[in-house]
Chain A
């Protein structure tokens, strides 16, 4: 009996696999507006976890180029007590840009927490105390800002390796409290 079924099973296996893949819901990717005050509360609520915040925008080419790295890190570390957050600094009043940001996140399968800063863009930079993006801020489990990785200093602009090293050091508990 097995001899008769096996060829049939083998023939249909690819079809079954494709059907399963097709029926599996795509990873949930969202882009939620968040004001600065709500962001502060959200960040505070994440105490107990290491939090990596990636500030980006569709108009920022280096941000777009680096984003896949952040998604890879998210997949690599999400089960190790690390929460990854992306905050888009696209213009909230520009529907085209917001939609482009959302589509980009979907293409990247960015299943991290994705927010759109719901502030006037100049005020957003002011409130976040950012000069430019990309910028990555890393908070420890006590909610303290431990790494501020930016391009603000021409002679010390951060790299993807800097993000990895900072995260690894925090996870290993190598840093002084």
Chain B
């Protein structure tokens, strides 16, 4: 059979996206949009509101020890890119009482979140991004294509019951999100495009 004979078959195949660790999105695809999600500041925001060259989305959950363990490093990354064309947006999609907006507000204030923290009660934004863990990062370039997804760095940290933080691999040495952001700002591809996020599972309503 000639190669051209395959073409109709290929065209007829359903469009199914999947990353290495993500069943919904893949690197390079257009980032799904979201609209009118209310933040902990009471303001509603959409992806199209953000005009920066890079948007970093991170799915978070207040209850999750891996989120709590990574909060300090997340705040640090936001600080690091202050003054540059980078926007970090936190997203909460869990429906557990301790992950809902009242708890999000308290958590954001206590930890000192220096970025927008939005909640999606429909969970649609999480479904569209295939986000199943918290924290889970997505870096979007200026054209709002997904250029990186996964861990913040190579040593995710967990907060223990006594409030202490334990890194999985000691001090982080590979900063995947930071490197991806820097690469996009420099007009280059992210050095690492996908890692296996480590964290709590996002529970979706059925």
Spell out A's residues near B (CB within 8 Å): 59-62, 91, 93-94, 96-97, 100, 120-122, 125-126, 131-134, 151-155, 157, 159
- In this complex, what residue of B is CB-closest to A155? B127
CB-CB < 8 A to A154: which residues of B? 23-24, 123, 126-127, 130-132, 202, 204
CB-CB < 8 A to A93: which residues of B? 166
CB-CB < 8 A to A125: which residues of B? 196, 198
0/1 interface trace, chain B 156-168, chain A, CB 8 Å (1 if under): 1010111000101
CB-CB < 8 A to B127: which residues of A? 154-155
- Flag if B206 contacts A159 (CB, 8 Å): yes
The verdict on B52 contacting chain A, using a C-beta distance below 8 Å, is: no
How far apart sit A69 and B125, CA to CA, in the bound complex (Å)? 30
Given contacts A91-B158, A131-B21, A153-B23, contact A126 B196 (CB under 8 A): yes
Classify the secondary structure of B's interface with A.
loop
CB-CB < 8 A to A121: which residues of B? 168, 198
How far apart sit A142 and B2, CA to CA, in the bound complex (Å)? 42
How far apart sit A111 and B158, CA to CA, in the bound complex (Å)? 28
How far apart sit A133 and B156, CA to CA, in the bound complex (Å)? 16
CB < 8 Å neighbour of B168 from A62, A122, A126, A133: A122
- Flag if A61 contacts B200 (CB, 8 Å): yes
How far apart sit A131 and B123, CA to CA, in the bound complex (Å)? 20
CB-CB < 8 A to A100: which residues of B? 161
CB-CB < 8 A to B197: which residues of A? 131
CB < 8 Å neighbour of A157 from B158, B162, B166, B204: B204
- In this complex, what residue of B is CB-closest to A96? B160
- In this complex, what residue of B is CB-closest to A134? B201
- Flag if A122 contacts B198 (CB, 8 Å): yes
- Flag if A152 contacts B132 (CB, 8 Å): yes
- Flag if B130 contacts A122 (CB, 8 Å): no
Q: A131-B133, A152-B23, A157-B204 provided; 7 other pairs, C-beta below 8 A? A: A61-B63, A61-B200, A91-B158, A97-B160, A122-B156, A122-B168, A153-B23
CB < 8 Å neighbour of B166 from A60, A91, A126, A153: A91
24 A/B residue pairs, CB under 8 Å, sorted by A: A59-B64, A59-B65, A61-B63, A61-B200, A62-B201, A91-B158, A91-B168, A94-B160, A94-B166, A96-B160, A121-B198, A125-B196, A125-B198, A131-B21, A131-B133, A132-B199, A151-B202, A151-B203, A152-B23, A153-B24, A153-B130, A154-B24, A154-B130, A157-B206
The verdict on B169 contacting chain A, using a C-beta distance below 8 Å, is: yes
Cβ of B20 to closest chain A Cβ, rounded Å: 10
- Flag if A60 contacts B168 (CB, 8 Å): no
- In this complex, what residue of A is CB-closest to B199? A132
CB < 8 Å neighbour of A62 from B65, B161, B203: B203
- In this complex, what residue of A is CB-closest to B123? A154
Complex A-B, nearest 3 residue pairs according to Cβ-Cβ distance, in ascending order = A132-B201, A153-B23, A154-B127
The verdict on B176 contacting chain A, using a C-beta distance below 8 Å, is: no
- In this complex, what residue of A is CB-closest to B127? A154
- Flag if B162 contacts A120 (CB, 8 Å): no
How far apart sit A170 and B198, CA to CA, in the bound complex (Å)? 32
Cβ of A23 to closest chain B Cβ, rounded Å: 35
- Flag if B132 contacts A132 (CB, 8 Å): yes
- In this complex, what residue of B is CB-closest to A100? B161
- In this complex, what residue of A is CB-closest to B134? A132
CB-CB < 8 A to B65: which residues of A? 59
0/1 interface trace, chain B 186-206, chain A, CB 8 Å (1 if under): 000000000011111111101
CB-CB < 8 A to B166: which residues of A? 91, 93-94
Name the residue among A100, A154, A155 with the largest chain B CB count within 10 angstroms.
A154
